[in-house]
Amino acid sequence: MLHGSTPTRARVLGAAAAAAGVAALPRFARGAGKPVVRIGFLDSFSGVFADVAALHKTGAQLALEDINRTSRVTFELVFGDDASNPATAGTEARRLIGQEKVDVLFGGTSSANGLALGPLVDELGIFNLALGPFDSTLTGEKARRLTYRFGCNARMVMRPLANRLLALGKKWYFLQSDYGMGRDSYAQLSQALQRAGGTEVGHDVVPLGTSEFSPSLTKIRNSGADVLILANSGQDAANSIKQFVAFGMQKQMHLAGINLEDFYFKVVPLDAIAGATFSVLWSPYASDSSRKLAARIHRAINAPVSARHFYGYGGLVALTDRILAAHTTDAEKLAAAFDDHAFDGYKGTRSVWHGCDHQLAQDVYAGAVVNAKTFARTQFLFDVQSEVPAAESDGTCDSPWARAAKAAMASQTIGHREGYAPKTV
């Protein structure tokens, strides 16, 4: 429905009748003779990561429109809400597989949920493309045969960030939320600081979902740190940033963090934190393809385009491309179709699916927050200042984590999906 339009009762009833008629049709009839592939889109549509998942959904729905316009297959999205909770993720995955009869799974933001789903999808015999979990072990020692990851892992994200942070100073104070990405990122960055001969001035760990950071900020203000590093994300990052500015701490130390969502441009005080360093998941200005993608999304939403739109759009494009290449929804054959495939991933250099650990190697960035005037011109929160290309972003298949992933997957068995016949597409 277009913004500003008001449906009449007749139009609502007509739409409902039309929807019921479509639902009653056999699946193949809906696509005008095309086979239909149902994609179970499982993400945190409620809970602490709901704002991220909402943008994943918008991007994926736009991709679905573009894909179905020319594809030999009709793809459908069937939604499940994991509520940012691992137990709920398992329940919803079983519902999508057992009741909705989806052919593959897709999506996800929470690392805890992503790690919980890995063994489950192997047990149930369905392929899963994890979208946004950052925990590095998901494509390391806890890698699974039927799971690939589209987004970056924490190790990848920290590489350009660490390069940038070491230029700002070598006395760091960490303020970390107690969740997977926070713990993983702290480990990565503290090791980088130690290797560089720097000093960890302090390390505070607070519960995920903390809204009041004054006790920690009081200590940090008097610590003598050169850099405060926020090992948090989402609303936790936004709240800690606003309180950092309220304490006037931007005048005495640099601010940096593992993740400031680029759609928080209205939430954080841009002029007060201009120049602060954060990881950047994607840039609309990275390449011709990223500019075209940003323009396509902007036309649809009439608002600044986020990396999370890119995750939803690019992830679904990548998944459907591999389904079409495999010509089947058979889970093991589909996973094999990902192995070592290189493609234009809407970044500066080509992205490649690492068959050894099931991670998508891709360009990774760090950047500085722009001021309000620059944002009004660019419509993007960051100025990219450090970049690591895809070929260097996550090492090689001889890296320790890739060897751990290969060993883990070699020992796993795949379950048989009861009552399911893979589709030929």
pLDDT of the residue at 163: 85
- Confidence (pLDDT) at 24: 37
**Token output for 271:** 């002029």
Q: For residue 324, count CB atoms less than 10 angstroms from its CB and return exposed for 0-12, middle for 13-18, buried for 19 or more.
A: middle
pLDDT at position 27 over 80: no
Banded model confidence at residue 234, pLDDT cuts 50, 70, 90: confident
* pLDDT tens figures, 271-285: 999 999 999 999 999
pLDDT band of 28, cuts 50, 70, 90: very low
pLDDT reported for residue 66: 98
pLDDT for 230 beyond 80: yes
**Closest alpha carbon to 269 in 371, 366, 367:** 371
Give the pair of three-digit tokens for residue 389: 């290309």
pTM: 0.90
Burial class (CB in 10 A: 0-12, 13-18, 19+), 79: middle
Q: Is the pLDDT of residue 33 over 90?
A: no
Average pLDDT over the chain, rounded to whole?
A: 92
For residue 268, is pLDDT > 50? yes
Alpha carbon 285 to chain centroid, angstroms: 19
Q: What is the pLDDT of residue 394?
A: 95
Run of H or E residues at 364:
strand 364-369
Check pLDDT > 50 for residue 391. Answer: yes
pLDDT classification of 20: cutoffs 50, 70, 90: very low
Q: Kindly tell me if the per-residue pLDDT of 218 is higher than 90.
A: yes
Report the pLDDT value the prediction gives residue 32, as an integer from 0 to 100: 56
Which residues have C-beta within 8 Å of that of residue 380, sequence separation ≥ 6? 262, 283, 284, 285, 304, 305, 370
Highest mean pLDDT among 26-35, 159-168, 370-379: 370-379
Q: Quick check: 11 pLDDT over 60?
A: no
Closest CA to 60 of 324, 308, 343, 351: 308
Phi, psi of 39 (to 5 degrees): -105, 115
Domains, the chain, in order of start with CATH, read 33-152+286-362+399-410 (3.40.50.2300), 155-280+364-393 (3.40.50.2300)
Residue 232 has pLDDT above 80, yes or no: yes
Task: Enter the tokens of residue 412.
Answer: 């796993």
Question: Is residue 172 packed enough to be buried (19+ CB in 10 Å), middle (13-18) or exposed (0-12)?
Answer: buried
Whether 8 shows a pLDDT value over 50: the answer reads no
pLDDT for residue 111 is more than 70: yes
Put the strands of the sheet holding 351-353 in their side by side order: 342-343, 351-353, 360-361
Confidence of residue 180 (pLDDT cuts 50, 70, 90): confident
Mean pLDDT of 42-56: 96
